[in-house]
């Protein structure tokens, strides 16, 4: 069911009851990238995307033709594994109302971690960590600069390094700043290494899960 057309051509999310979510997949793994790399985590990948990165490696997540699961069912599955870290991702997860899911996870003692491009309002969802990864394909909402705990910019070409600085100038001083080489652009790794060495306010994020061949 791989989809290669732009997200705007995909069907909208179906009508959902409060606390229900279109879920592409949910599974136990190690967090592969960013500040929590190596941390055992339960990943919840929601369906639907309004961004459409051409280098996206989970284009199946763009559409909404996936099962609908409740926040309680997802949180119960996560809690049953014994981990204490849950990552809500996509697709673009902010197409959904994340409040009930975040609350269900936190009620069971899990940290609720969101990974988002920041293209839709976050609402009243209470989260323990927000990874904000803006994309050139659709501008993020200004609210995410103040909410981000971690700014993660994917580097596909050299100009992305300049573009990243524009976003870094808007986040909180305490926000981590990470540059991540785009997996299918091998030379981007050396660009990021060189840039971090000459601009030490940045850290490099490596997609360790791909090197380890785990989800």
Confidence tier at 19 by pLDDT (50, 70, 90): very high
So what's the pLDDT on residue 8? 53
Q: How far apart are CA 215 and CA 213, in angstroms?
A: 7
Percent pLDDT > 70 in the chain is 94
pLDDT band at 7 (very low <50, low <70, confident <90, very high): low
The helices-and-strands tally (H runs, E runs) of the chain is: 6, 9
Residue 1 in this model has a pLDDT that exceeds 50: no
What φ, ψ does residue 116 adopt, rounded to 5°? -150, 155
Give the bridge partners for 198, in sequence order: none
pLDDT of 10 reads: 45
Q: Distance (Å, rounded) from C-alpha 148 to C-alpha 152? A: 10
| Residues 12-36, mean pLDDT to the nearest whole number | 95
Burial of 55 (0-12, 13-18, 19+ CB in 10 A): exposed
Q: What is the mean pLDDT of residues 140-157?
A: 97
Is pLDDT at 104 greater than 50 in this prediction?
Answer: yes
In this prediction, residue 213 carries a pLDDT of 84
**164 Cβ contact partners less than 8 Å away, ≥ 6 residues apart:** 151, 153, 155, 177, 179, 202
7 alpha-carbon distance from chain centroid: 16
Q: What is the pLDDT at residue 4?
A: 47
DSSP one-letter code for 60: G
Average pLDDT, the chain: 93
Helices of type H across the chain = 71-80, 99-107, 143-147, 159-168, 188-198, 208-212
Q: Indicate the SS3 state at residue 138.
A: strand
**Region 89-93: what's the mean pLDDT?**
94
Q: Is 82 helix (H, G, I), strand (E, B) or coil?
A: coil
Q: Report which DSSP code applies to 135.
A: B
The phi and psi torsions of 123 (rounded to 5 degrees) equal 70, -145
Which residues, 6+ apart, have CB-to-CB distance to 167 below 8 Å? 134, 145, 151, 153
Q: What is the average pLDDT across 170-175? A: 98
């Amino acid at each position: 069911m791989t989809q290669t057309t732009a997200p705007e051509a995909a069907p909208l999310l179906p009508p959902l009851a409060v606390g229900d979510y279109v879920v592409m997949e949910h599974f136990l793994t190690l967090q592969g990238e960013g500040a929590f790399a190596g941390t055992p985590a339960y990943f919840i990948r929601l369906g639907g995307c309004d961004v459409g990165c051409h280098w996206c490696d989970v284009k199946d997540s763009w559409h909404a033709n996936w099962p609908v699961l409740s926040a309680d069912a997802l949180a119960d599955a996560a809690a049953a594994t014994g981990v204490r870290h849950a990552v809500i991702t996509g697709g673009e997860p902010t197409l959904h109302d994340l409040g009930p899911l975040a609350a269900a996870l936190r009620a069971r003692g899990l940290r609720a971690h969101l990974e988002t491009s920041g293209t839709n309002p976050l609402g009243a969802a209470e989260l323990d960590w927000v990874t904000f990864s803006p994309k050139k394909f659709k501008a993020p909402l200004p609210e995410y600069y103040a909410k981000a705990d971690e700014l993660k910019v994917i580097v596909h070409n050299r100009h992305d390094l300049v573009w990243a600085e524009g976003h870094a100038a808007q986040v909180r001083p305490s926000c981590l700043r990470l540059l991540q080489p785009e997996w299918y652009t091998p030379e981007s790794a050396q660009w990021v290494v060189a840039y971090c060495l000459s601009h030490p306010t940045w850290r490099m994020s490596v997609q360790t899960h791909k090197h380890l061949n785990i989800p």
